Amino acid sequence: MLSIKNLHASVEGKEILKGINLEIKAGEVHAIMGPNGSGKSTLSQVLAGNEAFEVTEGEVTLNGENLLELETEERAREGIFLAFQYPVEIPGVSNLQFLRTAVNAMRTHRGEPEMNAAEFMKLAKEVSKQVDLDPAFLKRGVNEGFSGGEKKRNEILQALLLQPKLAILDETDSGLDIDALKVVSDGVNALRAEDRAILMVTHYQRLLNHIVPDYVHVLAGGRIIKSGGRELALELEERGYGWLGIKEDEAAAAN
Amino acid sequence: MATTDKEVKELIKREYEHGFVTEIEADTFEPGLNEDVIRRLSKIKQEPEFMLEWRLKAYRRWLEMDDPTWAHVDYPRIDYNSISYYSAPKKKEDMPQSLDEVDPELLRTYEKLGIPLHEREKLAGVAVDAVFDSVSIGTTFKEQLAEAGVIFCPISEAVQKYPELVEKYLGSVVPAGDNFFAALNSAVFSDGSFVYIPKGVRCPLELSTYFRINAANTGQFERTLIVADAGSYVSYLEGCTAPMRDENQLHAAVVELVALDDAQIKYSTVQNWYPGDEHGKGGIYNFVTKRGACQGRNSKISWTQVETGSAVTWKYPSCILKGDNSVGEFYSVALTHNYQQADTGTKMIHLGKNTTSTIISKGISAGRSSNAYRGLVKFQPGAENARNFTQCDSLLIGDRCGAHTFPYIESRNKSAIVEHEATTSKVSDEQMFLCRQRGIDPEQAVSMIVNGFCKEVFKELPMEFAVEAGKLLEVSLEGSVG
């Protein structure tokens, strides 16, 4: 589904990704782990098409199509979804209006009729229950005054509504208490499907107790230095990043 | 925010959609202004003597005045003798007696603008007075309003039919010599709307005037006077458009509102005069004086404006809160794009006890435009326990535009309470990225973010116009991304 070859990317002239190679097939769940500053968030931003980052080398294809040539919104319509680490607020724009606009943009792209307000309200209410968000949140401004946990649940709500082909979750577990983590994980597990891939970016392995990945990759210094199965995450938890020759503080300082 | 070159070109190609010219025979005065022009104008309008005297007095005051220069706008000096002061569609005989007699070409013009005037297609629940260049061409729902005792007619008709009301209230809120443009308007105003709501009547329809400038090299100087007698209520809306022309055109209007005891006037404006092209060529100079007097106890005047058009806007809808417990409100969205300039805001003058005022101003600047809020909140010694709340928010799109806030507060009463909040924000790259990541077009994203920013003001508009205002913002913002 997703194929990344020798991807290099920089921000403000500084190279962050230094040759990433990764293959993700439909139905798979991949976890990317690594210390702070290793380039994890950059990878997710680059895949989603954030123009603050410049791709200097390499290629990325989604189902054979060159992803890097597409605008951000075109990538989204092709099925790339990014759950943000720090979702921004859009004051005055109701969550419901925002979500319906997004869902209808996707439907129009697929040649399906737009959903009217009543139909969408019904769907959105059902899905908000799934992530334990009071439907009252639908009427509030996008992320306006939401707590950290509510913002994260709102991201998963969006993924469930948009039904992407590839869902990228950027540090979705950060700032969540154990109950919220459970709710969010259940939401992500509900996304698992044969025709969908999930790419989780996380610093800690605790999320992986709830969402069990098929593959785990360790990112450090802008490269994937080790790949393995679920057991790699457990090993990292036990031994830290040090045994792979990574000094976490140094990596962070470099940024 | 990168859109491809092709997209940008397509966006720029989209133009002001009301920019067409109606080919119609018109009687137009030669350019130039002197006492004879005013006499001719007054004669055509068949005005009583007091009206002509009033105009001439205003003209003489105007001659002694200078263009105001204090506003944060920049435009070449206007040659007032190069403007024609009267233009009216030629009529087969006299004024049309009903809409059936109006030139079909004119009716088609209003239909194109989305304002059907035919009886069978009229806007439901809204009575419309359509002003084309210098004259009113027709008013809908006349009978229904007459039944309620409401007078809604062109001001030229009111001068003839209700001279005592006009003489009593005209200039009572905005005196002829109030300012340069008000004096000019008082001398040469040609038409506009007159509204009188009798005691205790709640006007059964929304009233609306639709102003259209068509002729070239003419100025539009409309005059609107609304009087709400004790215990009455009226909601009034005005809309404005003009053709695209390379020359700038002057629009200098005066609006006066009078609310007596327990009366309420809600005045809404959707202003979409031609703003000029993307290089700043052409467009309307919109120099307008709007003021309401809360004369009576417990009276209320509420101004809501959505300003997206005009090359230069100079406009401060204000309230004089004379009656005890009276309430003044000002809700404003002003959007500037390309080379547009706006200096707009309000004055709230508190005279009576327990008077309250609310100001919510939302300025949006895009392109290379300049957008200023200018406001005065004044408490006179008699304004015991008066209070004001002001909120001024500015939103910037791109980094070549400007937003300015000039709030003035004068308090001569210690019991007065003033709250002032102001914010400036940008449509952030993060907000745009979030919207686009969810599959939303950049243009639609900007429009959604801006609409969200304006929500507090839009909710004050009559329902059907709130939707229109949202769409208008969308059109006005086209080409602001890229």
A107: nearest CA partner in chain B: B439
**pLDDT value at residue B192:** 85
Other C-beta atoms closer than 10 Å to the C-beta of A28 total 17
Residue B109, amino acid: T
Instruction: Decide if B334 contacts B307 (C-beta within 8 A).
Output: yes
Mean pLDDT over all residues of chain B? 83
Sign of CA dihedral A171, A42, A141, A113: negative
Q: Are strands B135-139 and B126-132 parallel, antiparallel or unpaired?
A: antiparallel
Inter-chain CB proximity B444 and A101 less than 8 Å: yes
> Is the pLDDT assigned to residue B469 strictly greater than 90?
no
Q: Please report which confidence band the pLDDT of residue B112 belongs to, taking 50, 70 and 90 as the band edges.
A: low
Q: How many whole angstroms separate alpha carbon B138 and alpha carbon B141?
A: 10
Q: Element (H or E) spanning B450, and its range?
A: helix B442-453
**pLDDT value at residue B19:** 64
Hey, is A151 helix, strand or coil? helix
The residue written with tokens 């005792």 in the block is B149
Residues contacting B361, CB < 8 A, separation 6+: B330, B331, B332, B334, B345, B346, B373, B375, B390, B391, B392, B393
Phi/psi at B268 (5° precision): -120, 145
Contacts of A80 in chain B (CB under 8 A): 437
| Among candidates A77, A90, A162 on the partner chain, residue whose Cβ is nearest the Cβ of B452 | A90
Inter-chain CB proximity A93 and B449 less than 8 Å: yes
B433: nearest CA partner in chain A: A50
Other C-beta atoms closer than 10 Å to the C-beta of B215 total 24
Classify residue B283 as exposed, middle or buried by CB count within 10 Å of its CB (0-12, 13-18, 19+): buried
Best mutation target among A93, A110, A139, A168 (most B Cβ atoms within 10 Å) is A93
Other C-beta atoms closer than 10 Å to the C-beta of B425 total 14
Inter-chain CB proximity B448 and A81 less than 8 Å: no
Q: What is the DSSP string of B166-203?
A: HHHHTTSSS-TTSSHHHHHHHHH----EEEEE-TT-B-
B395: nearest CA partner in chain A: A91
**pLDDT value at residue B94:** 44
> Is the pLDDT assigned to residue B424 strictly greater than 90?
no
**pLDDT value at residue B222:** 87
Closest CA to B280 of B237, B244, B254, B311: B311
- The sheet carrying A215-220 orders its strands as A80-83, A166-170, A197-202, A29-33, A215-220, A223-228
Give A76-92 pLDDT, tens digit per residue. 999 999 999 999 999 88
Mean predicted confidence (pLDDT) in B239-267: 85
Mean predicted confidence (pLDDT) in B390-407: 89
Inter-chain CB proximity A73 and B454 less than 8 Å: no
- Per DSSP, B101 falls in state G
Q: Where are the beta strands (DSSP E) in B155-294?
A: 193-197, 206-212, 223-228, 233-241, 248-251, 254-259, 264-271, 283-294
Mean predicted confidence (pLDDT) in B102-128: 59
> Is the pLDDT assigned to residue B120 strictly greater than 60?
no
Out of A59-68, A219-228, B142-151, B216-225, pick the least confident: B216-225
Give B267-300 pLDDT, tens digit per residue. 988 877 777 888 878 888 889 999 999 999 999 9
Q: Domain segments of chain B: what residues?
A: 129-427
Best mutation target among A101, A106, A154, A170 (most B Cβ atoms within 10 Å) is A101
Mean predicted confidence (pLDDT) in A171-190: 89
Q: How many whole angstroms separate alpha carbon B190 and alpha carbon B81?
A: 17
Instruction: Decide if B159 contacts B189 (C-beta within 8 A).
Output: no
> Is the pLDDT assigned to residue A20 strictly greater than 90?
yes
Inter-chain CB proximity A76 and B439 less than 8 Å: yes
> Is the pLDDT assigned to residue A32 strictly greater than 90?
yes
Mean predicted confidence (pLDDT) in B219-224: 86
Least Cα separation, residue B449 to chain A (angstroms): 7
Best mutation target among A73, A146, A166 (most B Cβ atoms within 10 Å) is A73
Mean predicted confidence (pLDDT) in B146-174: 93
| Among candidates A51, A90, A98 on the partner chain, residue whose Cβ is nearest the Cβ of B2 | A51
Q: How many whole angstroms separate alpha carbon B99 and alpha carbon B87?
A: 20
Q: How many whole angstroms separate alpha carbon A172 and alpha carbon B237?
A: 49
**pLDDT value at residue B100:** 59
Residue B381, amino acid: P
Give A88-111 pLDDT, tens digit per residue. 999 889 999 999 999 999 999 999
Is the CB of residue A115 less than 8 Å away from at least one CB of chain B?
Answer: no
Mean predicted confidence (pLDDT) in B245-264: 89
**pLDDT value at residue B12:** 37
Q: How many whole angstroms separate alpha carbon B216 and alpha carbon B179?
A: 26
Out of A136-140, B89-93, B118-122, pick the least confident: B118-122
> Is the pLDDT assigned to residue B440 strictly greater than 60?
yes
The two structure tokens encoding residue A111: 């040649």
Hey, is A242 helix, strand or coil? helix
> Is the pLDDT assigned to residue B52 strictly greater than 80?
yes
Inter-chain CB proximity A105 and B456 less than 8 Å: no
The residue written with tokens 């809409």 in the block is B99
Q: Please report which confidence band the pLDDT of residue A196 belongs to, taking 50, 70 and 90 as the band edges.
A: very high
Greater confidence, B274 or B158?
B158
**pLDDT value at residue B10:** 44
**pLDDT value at residue A180:** 87
A/B interface, count of CB pairs below 8 Å:
79
Give B125-148 pLDDT, tens digit per residue. 566 777 766 566 666 777 788 899
> Is the pLDDT assigned to residue B345 strictly greater than 50?
yes
Least Cα separation, residue B460 to chain A (angstroms): 15
| Neighbouring-strand partners of residue B98 | none
Inter-chain CB proximity B440 and A101 less than 8 Å: yes
Mean predicted confidence (pLDDT) in B312-337: 93
- Per DSSP, A243 falls in state G
